[in-house]
Amino acid sequence: MQFELEGVSINKDAIGAKVKLTVNGEQLIQEIHGQGSHCSQHSLVVHFGLADNEVIDNVEIIWSDDYSQNFDDVTPNQRYRIKEGNNLSIAISGCTDPNSCTYNPVATVDDGSCQYLPPNDILGNASSGFYKTETYTYNVPADSHVSWTVEGGEIINGQGTNSIQITWDFVEQGRVIALESGNSCSNSEAELVVNLHINNLSEDTSIARIWNEALLEAIRGDYARPTVHARNLFHTSVALYDVWAIYESTKPYLIGNEVHGFTSDLVEFEPTESIAASKEKAMSYAAYRLLVHRFEDSPSADTSLEGFNLIMKQLGSYVCHASLIKY
């Protein structure tokens, strides 16, 4: 038999209280305590094994040195609950989750019988891109309500309806979770995992935008250094613009020019790939090397580098800081 105690004059978990059973003239006693081993704790429910004994002579709940309660005619093979000062009550097994379709409001012990509305599938793209806006739908009856949760993105429209719009962030994988609530119960969560890739960008999102967003994320994780980050923003924009300008046959800002007394040469070369592919690679290598160097001592260096490496990995680009490969 089991006893679950709730203290009033002592602590609510009744730690320190004792339960004493008298069975066939013999006494069994257990104390409630919160001790345990590493990352664990003993149960607060007191359990007695009675073998074949079917008669309990007496149950004494010793709440403290000054107060105890005695109970006779207690039936074995039950789980009892008692609040200090009250009578024993038999614990009722059932579903204790009010969101379940089989919720039992009088149940005190969850027996795993909870049942929920069957989940539907979340409809929408399971493959998207950074900063892309997608629509996701979860079909429910008219009298049901849908609560959405998104990881790796932001809901921009539709919360509380069966269809939402999400703008994805700069992450490798996102999750869409839908929880349907009907008149009396809800479903278990439906989930859709969305893989985000740089090859699935929307038409108005360029590789320069992706590197600028990666830079902004790195700045958010760094110290508050306005002048330093103004320089980081400017130098990154110069690197990206100059690469673009070279491939677009437009005059670069720095390369091949004299700027504030600094002179650099633009060495002619022939691209080994298409202009679009060469431009994307060269811009990425330029931004990657600059940002890895600038944020190597940041307090969030590991997180920032993970983001930089994610872009290069999804582009299929080999990361080598000393590379002299021309594109």
H-type alpha helices, the chain: 207-220, 226-247, 275-294, 301-315
What's the pLDDT at 196? 97
Query: What mean pLDDT is predicted for residues 18-27?
Result: 92
In which residue are the tokens 């004059």 written?
A: 9
Kindly report, residue by residue over 154-169, the tens digit of the pLDDT. 999 999 899 999 999 9
Is residue 253 a contact partner of residue 241, using CB atoms and an 8 Å limit?
Answer: yes
Laid out side by side, the sheet with 153-157 consists of 133-137, 163-168, 153-157
What is this structure's pTM?
A: 0.65
Output the six-digit token pair for 54. Answer: 């079917």
Q: Where in the chain is the domain with CATH 2.60.40?
A: 127-200
Please, which residues have CB within 8 angstroms of residue 316's CB and are 6 or more apart in sequence? none
CA distance 63 to 285: 71
Kindly report, residue by residue over 203-247, the tens digit of the pLDDT. 999 999 999 999 999 999 999 999 999 999 999 999 999 999 999
CA distance 258 to 263: 4
What's the pLDDT at 240? 97
What's the pLDDT at 320? 61
Cα 208–Cα 213–Cα 214 angle in degrees, nearest 5:
95
Query: What's the mean pLDDT when you consider all of the chain?
Result: 90
Output the six-digit token pair for 274. Answer: 């298409």
- CATH number of the 127-200 domain: 2.60.40
Least confident window among 42-51, 99-108, 186-195: 99-108
In percent, the amount of the chain with pLDDT more than 90 equals: 64
